[in-house]
Amino acid sequence: MNIENLLKKTITSSQYRAITILGEQFDRLGIRAFLVGGTVRDILLGKSITDIDVVLEADPQDITSKFDPKYKVEVHSVSQFGTCKIILSDQTIDLAMARKEVYPSPGELPVVEHASFEDDLARRDFSINAFAAGINSQDWCELIDFDNGLADLESKQIRVLYSKSFQDDPTRIFRVLRYSGRLGFDIEKRTKKYMIEGLRLISLLSGVRLTNEIRKIFSEENSGAILRSLDQYEVMSYAHESFPNGADLTKRRDLLQSLQIDPHNRDFYAFVSLISSLERHNAIERLNLGNEFMKFGSDLGKIELLEEKVSRSELHDQLKQISEIAILVAGTYVSRKIKSNLDLFLQELNKIDLLIDGQDLIGLGVPEGPRVGDELSKTLSYMIESGPLSKPEQLIVAKKFI
């Protein structure tokens, strides 16, 4: 089957140009090259594509230096797996060497070896991701359907290429549920059985790989349904016993939508906020989220311990070291009274500033040394109880304390 017509219908003219230039250049160099994976899957589904993935039977690392110099190619990054990102004709393209993968043990990253193009298709996750289409002139747009992926696209099902697929790479459990939710496809019967057998291996995935998969689900248009589908197999609890279920996570993410916080991390703030305070440290470590999240987690714990009845200065004292993000996030689920205390802190108490400084107090006769700081904080506490004051008023208050 030749997919040129489909290709022309689904991709932009600039993408088409980039692919034809690549084909021409690989012809010149005598290298076989193919569009692969999700790129071909999406073309077959008639969807527009964002990534152009190309596999070569050669090492891509310095291949572009051999291109005709009239084409400007920027090489962006080179990875440990012999892949490299280039920009050609305004398009980002992932070039990868055809490879075999050997998994030393479940959950670990594979050891990669040069291989034939057919081996490269055989190592892939699902039949609907194991398509290729030639870009050299002799097989331009000829579809290679490694394992009946077309039939699976038609019957709307996701099927692994081999029974150990989830064992080799348990991230594929997240992937199969993500594609199933995105495309509205069923998981083929045996694939489901292999997936269920592989669930216990999720615990072997590194934090970085786990976070990466969860983040990819967050960025799906249909993420709520995908997260809920994880619950059916208790996927999150296989990753860590404290992780929240997808249904709760979806609700908490919705609550955080309207907050003015970094959207890249917002969903993980929702995630961490659902974990019990005793388990947060371990869970953040499990996800490898780093120090900023550790502080966030411990800040949430402190907010959750706040009493409903506190004086303004006690409230200020308890919250002054807490990050604004933690206060905003906790505000979505604490009691109404605590929420109004959090608002009071953010909208009023936190904005009360001392306009006098140490020099002013020394001018009033306070000897240099630790007493200067003590006297300044007395004035600040006074204002926190009474409300903000102008600089002359603050000087009067400070004088009273001396």
The residues of the shown chain that bind ligand CTP, judged by CB under 6 A, are 37-38, 51, 53, 124-125, 129, 169, 171-172, 175
Closest approach of Cβ 214 to ligand CTP, in Å?
14
Minimum CB separation of residue 213 from ligand CTP in Å reads: 9
For residues 209 and 171, the answer to whether their CB atoms sit within 8 Å is yes
| DSSP 8-class letter at 160 | B
Q: Which is nearer to ligand CTP, 36 or 88 (CB)?
A: 36
CB 40 to ligand CTP: min, Å: 9
- If the CB atoms of residues 145 and 169 are measured against ligand CTP, the closer one turns out to be 169
Instruction: Rank residues 179 and 243 by Cβ distance to ligand CTP and give the closer one.
Output: 179
> Closest separation between CB of residue 51 and ligand CTP, Å?
5
Q: How far is the CB of 381 from ligand CTP (least distance, A)?
A: 55
**Tokens standing for 188?**
């083929």
CB of 246 to ligand CTP, least distance (A): 18
SS3 sequence, 340-394?
HHHHHHHHCHHHCCCCCCHHHHHHCCCCCCHHHHHHHHHHHHHHHHHCCCCHHHH
Query: CB-wise, 37 or 181, nearer to ligand CTP?
Result: 37
Question: For ligand CTP, which is the closer residue by CB, 18 or 256?
Answer: 18
Angle, CA 217 vertex, CA 211 and CA 221 arms, to 5°: 150
Cβ pair 16, 7 in contact under 8 A: yes
Q: How far apart are CA 107 and CA 239, in angstroms?
A: 12
Choice between 135 and 275, CB closer to ligand CTP: 135
DSSP per position, 186-245: EEPHHHHHHHHHHGGGGGGS-HHHHHHHHHHHHTSTTHHHHHHHHHHTTHHHHH-TTPPP
CA-only gyration radius of the chain, Å: 29
Residue nearest ligand CTP (C-beta atom): 38
